[in-house]
């Protein structure tokens, strides 16, 4: 089976909105999290969706799922104190309730601009290579600096990629890595890709799209709106 694990546990501090977490901000009457979920809901190869959410927002989220006819969600789970702990809560549920050879697609609830091709590529890459890290080339130069902001190195963009999401694995592999991290008290992983690499797994990149942004700041939300508007205009006028 193919299960999507959606992380919706952020509080939106950098968004500057204290009333509502960023995944629940609305564009044209639809919350960001629903834009995200619809991609997985409408994919024929996705069998189920599990969501990790802050405990106090679970009832609100369930009402949204009903309102927008998101029917593949089988469980909404409370998040933990950290992102790593929250993802493990979802991984643990999937490991207990599905075959360990099932594929899990781990995705941010605030990345609503993925598409069906990216989801399909993730599933195929796990079958072919054991993993899938959605990525795209950087468009700007980035550098490595020391603690005094002195430039230590300029990276070759042709040999670099931006890691995005989904990040997908067999459930048995990602479960093992999380359990090992708990045993080792290793809590520094910034995402599933870094966790898997830390424990010796080879991870395979797939090509994504640059607009697959994570909505973290107000400018990200405005970019999201601009892209949605552009797609709407294209659909109307061709």
For 194-223, the pLDDT digits (tens) are 999 999 999 999 999 999 999 999 999 999
Separation between Cα atoms, residue 164 and residue 213, nearest integer Å: 8
Residues 6+ apart with CB under 8 A from 92: 175, 178
Is residue 81 annotated as involved in ligand binding? yes
* Predicted pLDDT at 18: 61
Sequence ranges of the domains in the chain: 2-237
Tell whether residue 84 is among the known ligand binding residues: yes
d(CA 188, CA 184): 11
Is 8 marked as binding a ligand? yes
The pLDDT of residue 103 is 98
Beta bridge partners of 132: 168
Does the annotation flag 141 for ligand binding? no
Superfamily classification of domain 2-237 = Spore Coat Polysaccharide Biosynthesis Protein SpsA; Chain A (3.90.550.10)
10 is in an annotated binding site: yes
* Secondary structure (3-state) at 62: helix
Distance CA 26, CA 24 (A): 6
82 is in an annotated binding site: yes
The number of helices, as runs of H, and strands, as runs of E, in the chain is: 7, 11
What was the pLDDT predicted at 89? Answer: 96
Token reading at 3: 């299960």
3-state class of 49 per DSSP?
Answer: strand
Q: pLDDT (tens digit, 0 to 9) for every residue of the chain, 238 residues total?
A: 999 999 997 665 555 556 689 999 999 999 999 999 999 999 999 999 999 999 999 999 999 999 999 999 999 999 988 999 999 999 999 999 999 999 999 999 999 999 999 999 999 999 999 999 999 988 888 788 888 888 888 877 777 888 999 999 999 999 999 999 999 999 989 999 999 999 999 999 999 999 999 999 999 999 999 999 998 877 666 5
Q: What is the pLDDT of residue 146?
A: 87
83 labeled binding residue = yes
pLDDT of residue 15: 52
29 annotated among ligand-binding-site residues: no
- Say how far apart CA 208 and CA 121 lie, in whole Å: 9
Residue 42, judged by CB atoms within 10 A of its CB (0-12, 13-18, 19+), counts as exposed
Residue 192 counted as an annotated binding residue: no
Ligand-binding annotation for 233, yes or no, is no
pTM (2 d.p.) = 0.92
User: Residue 237's pLDDT is what?
Assistant: 61
Is 130 marked as binding a ligand? Answer: no
Determine the pLDDT at residue 12.
52
């Amino acid at each position: 089976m193919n299960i999507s694990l959606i992380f919706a546990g952020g509080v939106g501090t950098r968004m500057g909105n204290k009333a509502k977490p960023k995944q629940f901000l609305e564009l044209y009457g639809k919350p960001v999290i629903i834009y995200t979920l619809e991609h997985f809901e409408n994919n024929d190869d996705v069998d189920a969706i599990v969501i990790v959410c802050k405990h106090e927002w679970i009832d609100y989220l369930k009402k949204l799922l009903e309102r927008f006819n998101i029917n593949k969600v089988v469980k909404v789970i409370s998040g933990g104190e950290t992102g790593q702990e929250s993802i493990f809560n979802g991984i643990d549920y999937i490991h207990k309730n599905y075959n360990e050879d099932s594929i899990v697609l781990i995705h941010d609830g605030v990345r609503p601009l993925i598409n069906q091709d990216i989801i399909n590529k993730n599933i195929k890459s796990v079958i072919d290579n054991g993993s899938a890290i959605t990525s795209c080339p950087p468009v700007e130069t980035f550098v490595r600096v020391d603690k005094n902001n002195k430039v230590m190195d300029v990276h070759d963009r042709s040999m670099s990629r931006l890691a995005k999401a989904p990040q997908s694995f067999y459930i048995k592999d990602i479960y093992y890595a999380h359990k090992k991290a708990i045993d080792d008290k290793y809590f520094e992983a910034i995402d599933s890709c870094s966790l898997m690499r830390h424990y010796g797994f080879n991870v395979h990149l797939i090509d994504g799209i640059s607009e697959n942004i994570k909505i973290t700041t107000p400018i990200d939300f405005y970019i999201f709106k601009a892209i949605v508007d552009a797609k709407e205009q294209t659909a109307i006028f061709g």
